[in-house]
């Protein structure tokens, strides 16, 4: 019996595309996944190893276009080093990005102050962000301490329906992610995400009587 086998890598991404930075300012539709860090009531938050800062460790997969299937890794700040509240720029930037993600995913204008818009900017837990699709503006982040650093791509901002290209790039009305059930992170898994942390596929628009709480 022969032990030979084959693996077909024709569908793999070419190396030059895999390592080239996506130009800063590029708009792409992405799906967000949070890598659980084991901190907080639901275990979604990651604790910095060098300070008391906390963040969401996220991966955004580009869904369409020339950069489709590329992954962009971004830390969304929740709490900075020692500072809190209005004196915490790291956490404030993270909260602003989360607001932008919710507005983009749920089709809410940033200036909309209606009850529906306010509900759309509300989540029951960080797990609600897991699996959300939104329009992202890609940026390039460099290590300021290393002049040789060529940088890496990050999600610089989430783009809402006010943008002229929003409807075209989002492909129509936004769809909410199916909320991920909360639960503690299982210890001793070597960093692997527990089953409940997997991103849920987008669901079709709900019927009027079953609309999500933020759309009622």
Q: What is the DSSP string of 142-188?
A: --TT-TT---EEEEEEEE-TTSTTHHHHHTSS--PPPPPPP-PPPTT
What is the chain's pLDDT, residue by residue, as a tens digit (216 residues)?
556 678 888 877 666 555 789 999 999 999 999 999 999 888 999 999 988 899 999 999 999 999 999 999 999 999 887 666 567 889 999 999 999 999 999 999 999 999 999 999 999 999 999 999 999 999 999 887 777 878 999 999 999 999 999 999 998 655 544 444 444 443 333 444 433 233 333 333 444 455 555 555
Write down the pLDDT at residue 9.
Answer: 83
Domain assignment of residue 13, yes or no: no
Domain assignment of residue 210, yes or no: no
Write down the pLDDT at residue 185.
Answer: 43
- State which residues form the domain around 38: 21-172
Domain assignment of residue 190, yes or no: no
Furthest-apart CA atoms within the chain: distance in Å: 70
Q: Which two tokens stand for residue 162?
A: 């006010």
Write down the pLDDT at residue 69.
Answer: 94
Domain assignment of residue 34, yes or no: yes
Domain assignment of residue 167, yes or no: yes
Q: Which two tokens stand for residue 117?
A: 């818009």
Domain assignment of residue 94, yes or no: yes
Q: What is the pTM of this model?
A: 0.73
Query: Can you say how many angstroms the Cα of residue 142 is from the centroid of all Cα atoms in its chain?
Result: 20
Write down the pLDDT at residue 31.
Answer: 98
Domain count, the chain: 1
């Amino acid at each position: 019996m022969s032990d030979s086998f084959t693996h077909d890598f024709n569908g793999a991404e070419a190396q030059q595309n895999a390592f080239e930075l996506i130009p800063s300012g590029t708009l792409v539709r992405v799906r967000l996944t949070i890598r659980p860090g084991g901190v907080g009531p639901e275990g979604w938050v990651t604790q910095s190893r060098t300070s008391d800062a906390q963040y969401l460790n996220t991966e955004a997969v580009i869904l369409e276009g020339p950069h489709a299937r590329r992954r962009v890794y971004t830390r969304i700040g929740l709490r900075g080093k020692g500072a809190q509240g209005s004196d915490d720029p790291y956490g404030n930037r993270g909260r602003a990005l989360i607001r932008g993600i919710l507005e983009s995913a749920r089709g809410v204008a940033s200036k909309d102050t209606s009850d529906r818009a306010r509900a759309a900017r509300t989540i029951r837990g960080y797990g609600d962000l897991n699996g959300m699709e939104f329009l992202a503006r890609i940026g390039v982040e460099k290590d300021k301490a290393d002049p040789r650093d060529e940088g890496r791509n990050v999600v610089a901002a989430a783009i809402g329906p006010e943008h002229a290209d929003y409807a075209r790039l989002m492909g129509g009305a936004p769809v909410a992610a199916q909320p991920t059930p909360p639960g503690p992170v299982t210890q001793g898994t070597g960093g692997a995400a527990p089953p409940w942390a997997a991103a849920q596929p987008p669901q079709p628009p709900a019927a009027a009587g079953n609309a999500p709480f933020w759309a009622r």
